[in-house]
Structure 1
Amino acid sequence: MFRHVHIGDCEAREPLLSGEYPEREQRDSDEEEIMFDRCTSKITCDPGGNAKRRLTYEEAVEEAGFGWFHWLLLVVCGWANASDAVEILCVSFLLPTARCDLLLSSSDMGLLTSSIFLGMMVGGYTWGYLADQRGRRRVLVVSLAVNGVFGGLASVAPWFWLFLLLRFISGVGVGGSIPVVFSYFSEFMPRLRRGAMISALAAFWMAGNILAAGLAWLVIPSNWAHFSVGTLDFQSWRLFVALCSVPSLSSALLFRLFMPESPKFLMETGREKEAIHVFQVMFKLNTWGKGKNLPEFGLCTSSKQRGGPEETRTHGGSRRERLACGLRKVLMPMKQMFTGSLRSRSVALLLVFYCISFGYYGLWMWFPALFERMESGGGSPCANTTATITSPTLHNHSCYPVKTAVYMEGFIIAASNLPGNIFTIFMVDRLGGKALLSCSLLVSSLSVFLIYVVRTKVQSLVLCCVFSGVSVVTWNTLNVLGTELYPTQLRSSALGFFTSVARVAAIMGNVAFGGLVDTNCAVPVLLVSALLLIGGLVALVLPQTRQTELA
């Protein structure tokens, strides 16, 4: 349901949020939280007199069934999610060797780890807005292609500034694919399976993490991966960067060739025939070999198409006025997120995303470097702060030969995500997202504090694995909550906005580690612990959304 609002000289359609029609509001039984207005099949959606049965989105999804289509969708979307993990985390694994070839100080390494997050911050909201206006599938194809192409080009960049720029552009692509893939995936899922399936999708981040760690362990320490291309000395870490771009490119190709548009998006834009076709494809694959046919039905769709002439038209005015009008349209979803009943959940999610992103990416991107310090110091990652890297040209012996133990430990930490992923898949629909989110943040906070306290390498490794396994529960739960707390016309924009907030936090976390890891390692570690504690407490104010319908 929409209303027309005037912004200067332009007209746009703004979704009606709960609270504007009190008689249609629904309350969650656990939290007494106002949820979204929902259509039911009893409403006459087609005034033209068509007598055929008309279904709402949730009813049509149930009619299409659950089966092979959803498992294939999980694999394709999961591979896209894994490709994002590979592209982000590959930087952390190349630091121990690339810092010598590119002559990097600790501050430079902080800038390098921050560059992809800066790109994600720029791309997150922009791609999310485009996905809400133009379609999920199209945005996924383009953003994954940008990620893969520029990530691959970075492997041959001879200078640090060029490598930094290409990693930034690659991050712009990652910023689009991460939030949009979860919106896209959730809009095919039946209500009772949505939480578990989104958690299963999030588990592919672990697969990407393990893939990146495994490739680093296999390629970077190997002599066979070192060769020359013209004047460029192609070290093994460059081959590793090139290989890390393959998952993104292959994901873009899979979406372009085989995947349909989201039926929920098609319904919201009034494209009934296309949406029905998607449901027919879903039913056909889900009932493969059973010889069944999907009964004929119509859909409750929006009466107007978004992105049509009525929305994109501007009425005269100067170029400056038209530009201001377009900017207000782009920022309208952000305004709606912090209006009415959505305000409190948006503020809470903003704080939670900031806290977990500062802590997770601040620590994770520096795990290989911290474990390299453990190799030298023999214990806590903060016990050997005097061994600073002030002049890479004088300390190449610290990079070569490559210490394979660093990558083995990174692989172990990546694999430690498995218990957290399995736990989330089976428990998110039983316990609810809010409880899992708060508890996982609090336990993560404690584990990071103990990383600072312990004094042996084994103890540090165990606690890093605990942090990895528990923090993944936080991320998986946030992916479920983020898709269920916002209506379709805001879903990708909201996830894109929070992704951008998370990237700001990730940049700050990496800059903090880069600036302080040599002089006072305890400060960023304890700051991470404090922020995770704050995030766990803030999460308690979020509404419970267990097995809720998508608005």
Structure 2
Amino acid sequence: MSRHVNTGESEALEPLLTGEDELDSDEGEIIFERSLSNITCNSGGTEDRRLTFEEAVEKAGFGLFHWLLLVVCGWANASDAVEILCVSFLLPTARCDLQLSSSDMGMLTASIFLGMMVGGYMWGYLADQRGRRKVLIVSLTVNGFFGALASVAPWFWLFLLLRFVSGIGVGGSIPVIFSYFSEFIPRLRRGAMISGLATFWMAGNILAAGLAWLVIPRTWAHFSLGWLDFQSWRLFVVLCSIPSLTSALLFKLLMPESPKFLMEAAREKEAINVFRVMFELNMRGKGMEFPVFRLCTGSKQRGELELEETKTHGSRRERLACVLKKGLRPIKQMFRVPLRSRSIVLLIIFYCISFGYYGLWMWFLELFSKMEDGGSPCANVTRPSVRDNHSCYPVKTAVYMEGFLVAASNLPGNIFTILMMDSTGGKTLLSCSLMVSSLSVFLIYEVKTKVQSLILSCVFSGVSVIGWNALDVVGTELYPTHLRSSALGFFTGVGRVAAIMGNVVFGKLVDSNCAVPVLMVSALLLTGGLVALLLPQTKQTELT
């Protein structure tokens, strides 16, 4: 049956969808009601029928555009990984130059997560209101600029502040990039493609580990600027900012706005133009012409709705109250029926996996450094004074080689996720990954030799990445378009609180009693794996 419509049609559409029109999971559970969305659409079977997003994205085909999209979005995801993880690689040497105690190092690793917590929901809300592409460009620029600026900070407090501001930028790009990417992908390919996007986190991890291995131990990168002793780890910080800045430039020059967002915002002509670009790249050389069609769109543009709401308030205080109320509206919608149960489950999962993963991962190199002397990561080893600059030099190259091996061990987990996501589903992979990760962390505490600890660390790295990839897929499919970025921003904010707590706990106890945080990580990962069983199955769900 033809889905083409007369382009001369101009009359407004009447919303015909009701709260009874629901999208069900494979297990019969309601994912969300279409009435929560701003989209309206004709439901007739004649030529005046407009296409839904899923129908339009199918007509645009699959091909070159999507692979270009994967590379650009993947590079943005990798840049976030580089910026977050670079702190863990510079700790063994920066601790001397900045004269840091273990508690100071805990504050430093927590600073970027604090920034991500502040920026996550704010950027996610702006992305749902103003567009994904603009937010990605600005947040990636903030990330890269302030990350580079931190390299010349002579004092710990200034370095801490700049890392915090850089984290605000990271907090915007991580949740928005997955919303943006998913809103171009056909339903049947979405699981594998989002898993492919998540794989670029591993690329960023390996890039950061490789740069640290190549740059930090080198003496040629050490020189004096008069007011600053520029050590090799500072050059490493500069290099880690380049991916974010180049990623912002790629979005500015190459990428369009999300067509799903444009449809939601009643910008039909712009959405059709995006589908046209997708079609022309995907069907290049096949001699096919772009089909003529109309789209199901929002009933009124968001800008008009916001202007009407603002006009109803007079004083500055009332307008500010209106803005705050609007900003909190997505959170209220997330915790109302029918979204409440999955929102609570996701909140618990994000907390558990973030505390566990970032609490342990940001301290891997420090634990490996401890194993150089004691054989076991939790052996009671007296560390040299941080005020003795010779304690960090010469740099132990083996520590960075081990960090690189742990980062590279993500590869099998990523390949497994790409191959299994669409057939198995995110829920099953998420739960199993968290449980196995919990076991591997518990065994890290039990082992007695450096080789055993390194092997289990690689197992943890390879298995835990499956959980993160599955969470990325599930998170994008559980919420409608007008809540998707806000929801991911909120949950990543919750995850940042957990990451901060994990790093502070490790900073306080890593020298005196590191068994406590390690066993906490194991317990929380197990809890997250069990709670994940309560999620609905979202395998090959349509985006609404």
TM-score range for the pair, normalised by the shorter chain length: over 0.9
In the TM superposition, residue 484 of structure 1 has moved relative to its aligned partner by 0.2
For 1:209 and 1:153, the matched residues in 2 are separated by 21
Which amino acid letter does the alignment assign opposite residue 369 of structure 1? E
Q: Does 1:475 align with 2:465?
A: no
Question: Once the two structures are superposed, what CA deviation does each residue of 1:49-99 show, in whole Å capped at 9, x if it has no partner?
Answer: x96662111000000000000000000000000000000000000000000
Distance 1:311 1:497, change over 3 A: farther
Partner of 1:232: 228
Contact kept? 1:53, 1:297, Cα under 8 Å: no
Correspondent of 1:322 among 300, 306, 319: 319
For 1:411 and 1:429, the matched residues in 2 are separated by 30
Partner of 1:5: none
Q: How high is the sequence identity, in percent, across the aligned residues?
A: 76
Partner of 1:388: 383
Q: Does 1:498 align with 2:494?
A: no
Which amino acid letter does the alignment assign opposite residue 313 of structure 1? T
Partner of 2:6: none
Partner of 2:80: 84
Correspondent of 2:71 among 68, 75, 87: 75
Contact kept? 1:52, 1:297, Cα under 8 Å: no
Contact kept? 2:26, 2:539, Cα under 8 Å: no
For residues 325-474 of structure 1, what are the structure 2 equivalents within 5 Å? 325-377=322-374, 379-383=375-379, 385-389=380-384, 391-394=385-388, 396-474=389-467
SS in 1 for 2:213: helix
In the TM superposition, residue 229 of structure 1 has moved relative to its aligned partner by 1.9
SS in 2 for 1:290: coil
Contact kept? 1:40, 1:56, Cα under 8 Å: no
Aligned residues between the structures: 525
Q: Does 1:156 align with 2:174?
A: no
Distance 1:95 1:34, change over 3 A: closer
Contact kept? 2:40, 2:298, Cα under 8 Å: no
Contact kept? 1:28, 1:35, Cα under 8 Å: no
In the TM superposition, residue 380 of structure 1 has moved relative to its aligned partner by 1.4
Which amino acid letter does the alignment assign opposite residue 182 of structure 1? F
Distance 1:513 1:31, change over 3 A: farther
Partner of 1:220: 216
Q: Which one is further off, 324-333 or 227-236?
A: 227-236
Distance 1:273 1:345, change over 3 A: same
Q: Which one is further off, 427-436 or 31-40?
A: 31-40
For 1:387 and 1:335, the matched residues in 2 are separated by 50
Question: Once the two structures are superposed, what CA deviation does each residue of 1:319-365 show, in whole Å capped at 9, x if it has no partner?
Answer: 22221111010000001000011000000000000000001001110
Correspondent of 2:543 among 524, 544, 550: 550
Contact kept? 2:33, 2:338, Cα under 8 Å: no
Contact kept? 2:42, 2:49, Cα under 8 Å: no
Contact kept? 2:409, 2:458, Cα under 8 Å: yes
SS in 2 for 1:298: coil
Q: Which one is further off, 317-326 or 20-29?
A: 20-29
Which amino acid letter does the alignment assign opposite residue 95 of structure 2? R
Correspondent of 1:202 among 198, 204, 208: 198
Partner of 1:279: 275
For 1:25 and 1:51, the matched residues in 2 are separated by 25
In the TM superposition, residue 193 of structure 1 has moved relative to its aligned partner by 0.2
In the TM superposition, residue 314 of structure 1 has moved relative to its aligned partner by 3.3
Contact kept? 1:187, 1:263, Cα under 8 Å: yes
Partner of 1:7: none
Partner of 1:516: 509
Alignment gaps of 5+ in structure 2: 1-14
For 1:225 and 1:307, the matched residues in 2 are separated by 51
For 2:67 and 2:328, the matched residues in 1 are separated by 36
Q: Does 1:94 align with 2:90?
A: yes
In the TM superposition, residue 402 of structure 1 has moved relative to its aligned partner by 0.0
Partner of 2:138: 142
Give RMSD over aligned pairs. 1.7
Contact kept? 1:147, 1:172, Cα under 8 Å: yes
For residues 238-253 of structure 1, what are the structure 2 equivalents within 5 Å? 238-253=234-249
TM-score (norm 1): 0.93
For 1:295 and 1:256, the matched residues in 2 are separated by 28
In the TM superposition, residue 40 of structure 1 has moved relative to its aligned partner by 9.5
SS in 1 for 2:302: coil
For 1:342 and 1:300, the matched residues in 2 are separated by 24
Alignment gaps of 5+ in structure 1: 1-15
SS in 1 for 2:303: coil
In the TM superposition, residue 204 of structure 1 has moved relative to its aligned partner by 0.1
In the TM superposition, residue 310 of structure 1 has moved relative to its aligned partner by 4.1
Partner of 2:8: none
Which amino acid letter does the alignment assign opposite residue 406 of structure 1? V
SS in 2 for 1:316: coil
TM-score (norm 2): 0.94
In the TM superposition, residue 291 of structure 1 has moved relative to its aligned partner by 2.1
Partner of 1:9: none
